Chain A
Amino acid sequence: MAEMKVTLCGIEMDNPLIPASGTFGYGYEFAELYDINMLGSFSFKGTTLEPRFGNPTPRIAECPAGMINAVGLQNPGVEKVISEELPKLAKCFHKPVMANVSGFSIEEYAKTCEMLDACEQVGWLEVNVSCPNVHGGGMSFGTSPEAAAEVTAAVKKVTKKPVLIKLSPNVTDIVSIAKACEAAGADGISLINTLLGMRIDLRTKKPVIANKMGGFSGSAIFPVAVRMVYQVAHAVKIPVVGMGGVTTAEDVVEMMLAGATAVEVGAANLVNPFACRDIITELPAVMEKYGIKSLSDIIGIA
């Protein structure tokens, strides 16, 4: 029997699969398609203290083997997430959910996390210091070890739930940032967020995306993600959640070999709404093919 169970920051998961924030909404679009309780967990849409519309459209550009998005953290704000989205989700998802949080100041991160800390449904807090699509927030907290550590410490003070810090690949030394988060008390690291990218329309001779640049994701970025997960997992003692271009069950195994305890799937959900279901269904056969009895045995052995 293929054993897919893993334990992430003290919480046992049936399998390591987690749809990534921003590609799975608050879950119920997908709950209409299949039973999302088969997932390990999922990371809900990036939530901020205040409601946000996000960036002007167009927000999406296609790329070879990937896409660019510049949504800009559109969300109804944490109060509505708690009063409306989470109760709706409770009807179709019965496992601990990962709460993805973003902000524009240390205080905002802390306040939003404090409010979500009070929600029983929330298993982990995934603190996004790496959104490339907003100004004066998001990624600016994730590009220096000091700022990332400051967010980590502020969030840790207001919650007893495990805190994962979601890091940006758009930095010179991701390892130093991951270590700074670990030293500040982070319970785990998740990476990678999208790579800053850009497309230009030859007919209009202007950027495709209204915000000009956006976050590049999709299978094209998988090798970059594997490399960074490997580097970080070998430098910190806390668990790592790996993501970036994961599309197949083989990709999940590769990401775990690199050092990921759990694996998030992002852009693939947008192309194939059944991507996570298909990966979970195919995992046992892939494990058997490569002689893997338990996924937790292969974490970081590459």
Chain B
Amino acid sequence: MKQGIFTVGENTALTASVYRMTLLGDTSDITNCGQFVNVLLDGFYLRRPISVCDRVEGKLTLVYKVVGKGTEKMSRMQAGEKLDILTGLGNGYDLTPAGDKPLLLGGGVGVPPMYLLAKDLIAQGKQVSVILGFNTKDEIFYEDEFRALGADVKVTTVDGSYGIKGFVTDAMKTIDYTYFYTCGPEPMLKAVWNASETGGQFSFEERMGCGFGACMGCSCKTLTGNKRICKEGPVLRKEEILWQK
């Protein structure tokens, strides 16, 4: 973990409630896709944990949804403003079991961490399929960005206004994959867990105090013992999750 001061580059709306912010600063501690950062905002006591969408040396990209007053304030920040950010938090995804044809499933604001994951897997020469799930056409973001990476992209909408009508699990049936990675709301994760036929990894959300393992605010039970979502997570393997079919 590192604490750093970042300068806002762009901060643009991708949909009515989802924004992309680029930040310039020291990204050296972001060592793995699927990690998150913890953003301090003026006037708010706790930091906001946000997944890393992309990072190159010196530049971090966050794609975040406005859900409360903190993220609303963040959405109004201008280029040149500064943010105090803790980087390099969480375990991130393990790419080693991916096989030749990994499948990535992102739902809503669970889509952003899939981007850096797809980029890293494609850099390893993998044939990556991506399913992006949204409620409706107006909420869709990053379809073109994933295609530009060279991934095979399918979009699902619950109301059928774009792409395949239904959930990510409806599209999952039609794809041949060796392993899967997913991030999204918990009901979606559970549906993926039920529908999946291979091993895979899940990225979880929880309300956090510190984000770096000190407060035990985000603990969960797993088949391999108690884990802190912020420290031993947010990524858990399918075989350690305490769900029942």
| A contacts, CB < 8 Å to B | 22-25, 29-30, 32-33, 45, 53-54, 57-67, 69, 71, 74, 208, 218-219, 267, 269-274
CB within 8 Å for A270 and B210 given contacts A53-B226, A60-B218: yes
Q: Mark B62-104, 1 if CB is under 8 A from A, else 0.
A: 0000000000000000000000001000000000000000000
Across the interface, which residues of B come within 8 angstroms of A30, CB to CB?
214
Contact B207 A58 (CB under 8 A): yes
- 12 cross-chain CB contacts under 8 A: A23-B210, A29-B231, A57-B220, A60-B218, A61-B207, A67-B45, A67-B209, A71-B217, A208-B207, A270-B46, A270-B209, A272-B3
Which residue of chain B has the shortest Cβ distance to A201 in the bound complex? B68
Across the interface, which residues of B come within 8 angstroms of A24, CB to CB?
214
Which residue of chain A has the shortest Cβ distance to B221 in the bound complex? A53
Contact B215 A271 (CB under 8 A): no
Q: Mark B1-43, 1 if CB is under 8 A from A, else 0.
A: 1010000000000000000000000000000000000001000
Separation of A179 and B51 alpha carbons in the complex (Å): 50
The smallest C-beta distance from A74 to any residue of chain B, in angstroms, reads 5
B55 within 8 A of A: no
Across the interface, which residues of A come within 8 angstroms of B219, CB to CB?
53-54, 57, 59, 71, 74
B208 within 8 A of A: yes
Separation of A23 and B45 alpha carbons in the complex (Å): 15
CB within 8 Å for A269 and B210 given contacts A60-B217, A60-B218, A71-B217: yes
Per DSSP, are chain A's interface residues mostly helix, strand or loop, or mixed? Answer: loop
Q: Which residues in window 194-241 of B have CB below 8 A to A?
A: 206-210, 212-221, 226, 231
Contact B207 A218 (CB under 8 A): no
Separation of A74 and B214 alpha carbons in the complex (Å): 12
Contact B208 A273 (CB under 8 A): no
Contact B216 A74 (CB under 8 A): yes
Separation of A123 and B44 alpha carbons in the complex (Å): 36
Point out the residue from A23, A61, A62, A219 that lies within 8 Å of B215, measured CB to CB: A23
Interface centre among A23, A57, A274 (most CB of B within 10 A): A57
Point out the residue from B216, B220, B231 that lies within 8 Å of A22, measured CB to CB: B216
Per DSSP, are chain B's interface residues mostly helix, strand or loop, or mixed? Answer: loop
| B contacts, CB < 8 Å to A | 1, 3, 40, 44-47, 86, 206-210, 212-221, 226, 231
18 additional A-B pairs beyond A60-B46, A272-B3, beta carbons within 8 Å, are A24-B214, A29-B213, A53-B221, A53-B226, A57-B217, A57-B218, A58-B207, A59-B217, A59-B219, A60-B209, A60-B218, A67-B46, A67-B209, A218-B45, A270-B209, A271-B47, A271-B210, A274-B3
Contact A74 B207 (CB under 8 A): no
Question: Which 7 pairs from chain A and chain B are nearest by CB?
Answer: A270-B210, A60-B217, A58-B207, A74-B216, A60-B209, A60-B207, A62-B46
Which residue of chain B has the shortest Cβ distance to A26 in the bound complex? B214
CB within 8 Å for A59 and B218 given contacts A270-B209, A270-B210: yes
Across the interface, which residues of B come within 8 angstroms of A74, CB to CB?
216, 219, 226
The smallest C-beta distance from A223 to any residue of chain B, in angstroms, reads 16
Separation of A33 and B45 alpha carbons in the complex (Å): 21
Contact A65 B45 (CB under 8 A): yes
The smallest C-beta distance from B230 to any residue of chain A, in angstroms, reads 10
Contact B218 A62 (CB under 8 A): no
The smallest C-beta distance from B29 to any residue of chain A, in angstroms, reads 11
Contact B217 A273 (CB under 8 A): no
Contact B3 A273 (CB under 8 A): yes
Across the interface, which residues of A come within 8 angstroms of B86, CB to CB?
273
Which residue of chain B has the shortest Cβ distance to A25 in the bound complex? B214
Separation of A267 and B226 alpha carbons in the complex (Å): 23
The smallest C-beta distance from B225 to any residue of chain A, in angstroms, reads 10
Interface centre among B40, B86, B215, B231 (most CB of A within 10 A): B215
